Amino acid sequence: MARLSAGERAPTFSLIDQNGKKVKLADFKGQKLLVYFYPKAGTSGCTKQACGVRDHREDLAALGAAVVGISPDEPQQQKKFDEKYGLGFPLLSDADHRVAAAWGAWGEKSMYGRRYEGIVRSSFLVDERGKIMHAWYNVRPADTAPKAREALSSD
């Protein structure tokens, strides 16, 4: 699994959100963007991560950053997740995990001794020109928003 580093161009994406709208990386040109990848809408870790991002969204916006979450879930699953927790930001469907793979957020995982392929919980800050500012792989759900906020505050 190739990993992205600061200074590299962020891989482009064009994915459908929970409302059926196509969302592209290019839509965020001229502003910073927190992109985070999560394994499955509605699971405990993913809920903690999404709600943490939701709770820090105003802080992130004040620091000039928008937010998108990406998972392999279908848009209708994303919609239920958004409605249940009042997330209020784009949740993008990457059902074939091509975007996750391009960002280095798809790879081998292990649980209870079983190996399988899946989302590696990761988050990225992208600058106004589409370059990676920061990349966090295997990020803890509770750390996604605080790490982004800290990085935005120090840049």
The rounded distance, in Å, linking the Cα atoms of 91 and 99 is 13
Answer for the pair 93, 13: CB distance below 8 angstroms, yes or no. no
The rounded distance, in Å, linking the Cα atoms of 105 and 155 is 24
Of 35, 46, 67, 152, which is the active-site residue? 46
- Answer yes or no: 51 catalytic: no
How many other CB atoms sit within 10 Å of the CB of residue 16? 18
**Residues catalogued as catalytic:** 46
